């Protein structure tokens, strides 16, 4: 399997701690029905051209590209590419080159979310029974779990006017609920002023049921009353780039 779907090794934050913040893009794509009318040979060539681009960019130092399929979970998106880099230029270059591929003539991008990593003012003060992937929130370190659940998130303006101690109290309750589901790992990224949302959250899990139960339980937390928007929600299935594109048809 290509390293665009493998856990970080050369870029492992534990092996070489870094403080640089990362740029994140969750890019969702839908293939137009017209593409499936192309011949099998043409479609195979189209898929390989995109796969080669993903593999090339993914080989770069400090760049992460993770492909996911949404075939069977969404009607308006077929696949998603999770792109991570310290350099915004890497995200720009990948998208510009993707636009020049043959498949791009048949692609729409119904959803795209841009964000960055930063240290959490709430989590750092909270004890964690499971430290996996939580020691440095400046670096995205995927776990390789089967599913990724992604959604944009906006809080009320009144939330930011609460005293910091009160926000910490409510978030501690919220975080404690999450700790009851150790098989679900959260990746929180921030979009203030960069995109239409304030946060983009991506949960990794091998169990769809665990994530559903976690979200239902968190609806009861006091902090959740300050939510303005947390949709659309995406259930993404991890696969290498060849399998992701093969599912298009």
On whether both 106 and 141 belong to a single domain, the answer is no
On whether both 231 and 135 belong to a single domain, the answer is yes
Position 241 in a domain? no
What residues in the chain have per-residue pLDDT under 70?
A: 1-19, 124-136
Strand partners, 30: 108
How many domains would you assign to the chain?
A: 2
Cα separation, 149 vs 32, whole angstroms = 24
Phi (first) and psi of residue 194, to 5 degrees: -95, -30
Cα separation, 189 vs 118, whole angstroms = 7
Can you list the positions of beta strands (E) in the chain? 23-31, 63-69, 79-85, 107-116, 147-155, 185-190, 199-205, 227-229, 234-238
CA Rg value for the chain: 19
Last residue of a domain, one of 68, 100, 116: 116
- What is the domain-level CATH number for residue 143? 3.30.70.1030
Position 2 in a domain? no
Q: Both tokens of residue 67?
A: 């492909």
On whether both 144 and 103 belong to a single domain, the answer is no
On whether both 182 and 213 belong to a single domain, the answer is yes
On whether both 229 and 134 belong to a single domain, the answer is yes
**Residue 41 pLDDT:** 98
Q: Both tokens of residue 103?
A: 């498949």
On whether both 129 and 230 belong to a single domain, the answer is yes
Would you report the helix, strand and coil content of the chain in percent, each value rounded to 5? 35, 25, 40
Specify the length of the chain in residues: 249
Q: Both tokens of residue 82?
A: 């999770």
Position 101 in a domain? yes
Structural domain including 43 reads 23-116
Q: Both tokens of residue 109?
A: 């991008």
- Catalytic residue list contains 181: no
Which candidate in 68, 111, 151, 190 is catalytic? Answer: 151
Position 248 in a domain? no
Position 205 in a domain? yes
**Residue 124 pLDDT:** 57
On whether both 112 and 31 belong to a single domain, the answer is yes
Position 244 in a domain? no
Last residue of a domain, one of 116, 143, 172: 116
**Residue 2 pLDDT:** 40
On whether both 132 and 229 belong to a single domain, the answer is yes
**Residue 141 pLDDT:** 87
On whether both 151 and 231 belong to a single domain, the answer is yes
Position 199 in a domain? yes
On whether both 103 and 130 belong to a single domain, the answer is no
Position 245 in a domain? no
> How many other C-beta atoms lie within 10 A of the C-beta of residue 10?
10
**Residue 112 pLDDT:** 98
Last residue of a domain, one of 90, 116, 142: 116
On whether both 73 and 168 belong to a single domain, the answer is no
On whether both 73 and 141 belong to a single domain, the answer is no
């Amino acid at each position: 399997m290509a390293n665009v779907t493998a856990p970080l090794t050369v870029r492992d934050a534990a092996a070489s701690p870094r403080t640089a913040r990362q740029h994140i893009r969750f890019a969702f794509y839908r293939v137009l029905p017209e593409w499936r009318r192309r011949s099998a040979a043409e479609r195979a060539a189209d898929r390989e051209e995109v796969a080669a681009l993903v593999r090339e960019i993914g080989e770069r130092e400090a760049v992460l590209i993770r492909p996911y399929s949404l075939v069977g979970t969404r009607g308006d998106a077929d696949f998603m590419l999770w792109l991570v880099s310290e350099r915004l230029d890497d995200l720009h270059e990948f998208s510009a080159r993707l636009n020049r591929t043959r498949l791009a003539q048949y692609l729409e991008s119904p959803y795209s979310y841009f964000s960055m990593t930063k240290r959490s003012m709430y989590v750092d003060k909270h004890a964690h029974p499971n430290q996996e992937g939580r020691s440095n929130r400046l670096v995205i370190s995927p776990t390789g779990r089967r599913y990724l659940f992604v959604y944009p998130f906006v809080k009320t303006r009144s939330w930011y006017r609460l005293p910091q101690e009160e926000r910490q109290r409510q978030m501690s309750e919220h975080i404690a609920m999450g700790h009851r589901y150790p098989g679900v790992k959260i990746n929180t990224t921030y979009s203030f002023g960069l995109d239409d949302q304030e946060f983009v959250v991506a949960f990794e899990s091998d169990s769809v049921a665990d994530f559903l139960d976690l979200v239902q339980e968190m609806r009861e937390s006091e902090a959740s009353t300050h939510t303005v928007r947390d949709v659309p929600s995406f259930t993404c299935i991890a696969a290498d780039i060849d399998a992701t594109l093969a599912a298009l048809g």
